[in-house]
Structure formats: structure tokens, C-alpha cells
Amino acid sequence: MPTDLREFPTDAILAQEVGHAAGRLLTQLSATRSPADPVELAIAGGFVATRVLPSLAETTPDLDWSRIRVWWVDERFVPADDPQRNDREALEALFSHTPGVTLERMPDDRGQSLDQAVGAFGARWNAVMAGRSIDFAILGVGPDGHFASLFPGHPQLDRTDDVLAVENSPKLPPRRLTLSRPVITGARRIWVAAAGSGKADALARALTPGTDYHEVPAAALRGQRTAWWLDAAAAQRIERS
């Protein structure tokens, strides 16, 4: 059994609990930080953006967002106004009304190749982070066990560059940018939020000791710094001890 598994009866309750807890944690972390040393928050799209972020907003009316810098763990390499963009989802859900927050949006596909975009964003990451770790990452997991844009069997899982290009994502659109596995697993706090029976098999495998992350990438997230926030449907096949 994972060291920190938190199960909720429905996806709605899960989203609310994760969002509220994340708001409290960000408030605590930011209380001792200045805008010159912001909390480094990394987020996923999908469930995190559309369900968790609105709940986070409910508990943070007094949070000084100037003490938070937001990164995305991955992004679809499409135009900036494409509704498939993870940052667009997050802006609509929360960040369009959080004055002062710093948003480190990954490049879009206008006027540059994917390799150029990866190079530019990798340089930005290195300049800002300078070898430091993400303070807090809120991630999702796909039915195949992927997180960010790190998919089963893909060579990117073993790449150590901070920012990677994905040319052939099995989930559309095929071209993406993603933070690497070492960058994400090196975060000081990792929360995985997943809902639905479609995730149950992948999560059960990910949380089974000995599972190869090449087969189920989310297995790389196991560890003492990770909390797994799941609804009952997603947690149904996890073995308890």
C-alpha cells in the first residue's frame, strides 16, 4: 500500500478536497517567501486544470499570488489560442483572475519548430530555476499510466534534459513539450490527482512495488514525497495491506 493514499467517494469530492488542501499548502509555503523567491508550482492539464484549480480558487481569496510562479509539466505544441492548450484551460479556470502571479507558459507553434521551442524554453527554465527543484507539483495520470507527456515505452522516459520534445504522442495532438522525469520526480512535494475507473488498472500497477516505469510511467512517482489523491473508482484495484 502506498505511504500516502487519500481516497474519496466521488470525483467531485476529490476535486474539492485536493483544491482546498492545495490552497492551504500554497498559503503556508508562500507566507515565508518574497516575490523575489516565489513558490515554484508545477501543474498538469486535464482534471487538474478543469476540476482542481476552480476548487483551489475557493480557498485562496487572500493568497498573495505574486509569491507564486506557475509552470506547466507539459504542453501541446499548437497555437496559443487553441482550446487544447493546457495553459488555456488553467487560465480560464483560475489564473485569468489571480493578479500578480507569474505564469511560465511553454511556447506555441507559431513561427518556430518544436526543437527551437524546446531550446528556448529549456534556456528559460535553466535561467530561472538554476538547478533548483519544483516546490510543489500537482499531476494527473492517464489510463495508460502516463504523466505529463511521458508515455509508456517512449525514449523520453530516460532522457535527462530538463525540457523534452515529444513528436509522437499516442494522445492527440502528437507534438508536445514536457518536463523530464528527473525534473518532475525531483519536486519537493508531488500530489497525484486521478479520478475514474479508466485509471484503476494503471494506478494499481503504478503502486505495486517493482513495476517498471517504462511500462507504467506513473510508477516513477512512488516515494515518500508523493501523495495519491484518488476517487473510489480510480482506487478500486489497489491492493491494501
Q: Residue 104: beta bridge partners?
A: 71
Q: Residue 241: what pLDDT?
A: 65
- The pLDDT value recorded for residue 35 is 81
Cα-to-chain-centroid distance, residue 73: 5
Q: What integer pLDDT is reported at residue 240 of this predicted model? A: 77
Give me the residue spans of the domains in the chain.
5-235
Q: 5-235: which CATH topology?
A: Rossmann fold (3.40.50)
pLDDT of residue 1: 46
- Per-residue confidence (pLDDT) for residue 60, from 0 to 100: 75
Give Cα separations from 2 to 168, 175, 177, 219, 241 (angstroms).
32, 33, 30, 11, 9
Q: Does residue 209 sit in helix, strand or coil? A: coil
pLDDT given at position 192: 98
Copy the grid coordinates of residue 192.
497525484
Q: Distance (Å, rounded) from C-alpha 179 to C-alpha 188?
A: 15
Sheet of strand 190-194: strand arrangement: 5-8, 226-231, 190-194, 136-139, 39-43, 68-72, 102-104
10-residue stretch averages of pLDDT, the chain, 241 residues long: 84 97 95 90 97 90 90 98 96 93 96 97 97 97 98 98 97 97 98 98 96 98 96 94 65
